[in-house]
Amino acid sequence: MKRIEDLNEDEQDFEWTEVKTGGKDKPKPISHHSIIVKDDKMYLFGGSFNFDSNESVYALDLRKFVWEKLRVRGLDGNAENIPAAHDEQCSVLVGETVILFGGFVNGERTNNIYKFHLKKNLWEKVELQDPHADQPCPRAGHSAVIYNDVQQGD
């Protein structure tokens, strides 16, 4: 598989092909999910199919094209650190950590924030230091971008 940086716009490299995937833990067809790519893995979280919500995290090995359902846990063994099923959330990758923001939870928009630590398969709910501080309104169907993998602050 070529990296996007290796494609030459003068060549005929721009053609879509369907990739067949395998694995006993292959996710159901879903929409409204978020995807993060880190190294040779693609991570999928959230989304839904009809009225069936997905609260699992799946990883696709991009060399073998085999799916795996990850065994995740919450920080300090606390299940409250594991997010409920989300739809239309956004996710970004900062280093080895996925940041999940907003989306629908049980049909309601939210502005909650979770971190998923890829090396540990560990969820952590982010609590604001000042719950009365200004914060974005609950939202879904939005997007976020990390530019040049730059993180400001802590």
> What does the pLDDT read at residue 154?
42
Phi-psi region of 104 (alpha: psi -120 to 50; beta: other; left: phi over 0): beta
Please enumerate in sequence order all residues whose Cβ is within 8 A of that of 113, keeping only pairs 6 or more positions apart, or say none. 99, 100, 101, 125, 126
**76 alpha carbon, distance to own chain's centre:** 21
Lowest mean pLDDT among 9-18, 51-60, 134-143: 9-18
Mean pLDDT score, 86-113:
95
Nearest to 114 by CA among 152, 143, 85: 85
| pTM confidence score | 0.85
| Domains detected in the chain | 20-126 (2.120.10.80)
Query: How far apart are the C-alpha atoms of 124 and 147, rounded to whole Å?
Result: 23
> What does the pLDDT read at residue 49?
87
Q: Is the pLDDT of residue 150 over 80?
A: no
Mean pLDDT score, 47-66:
93
Phi-psi region of 50 (alpha: psi -120 to 50; beta: other; left: phi over 0): left
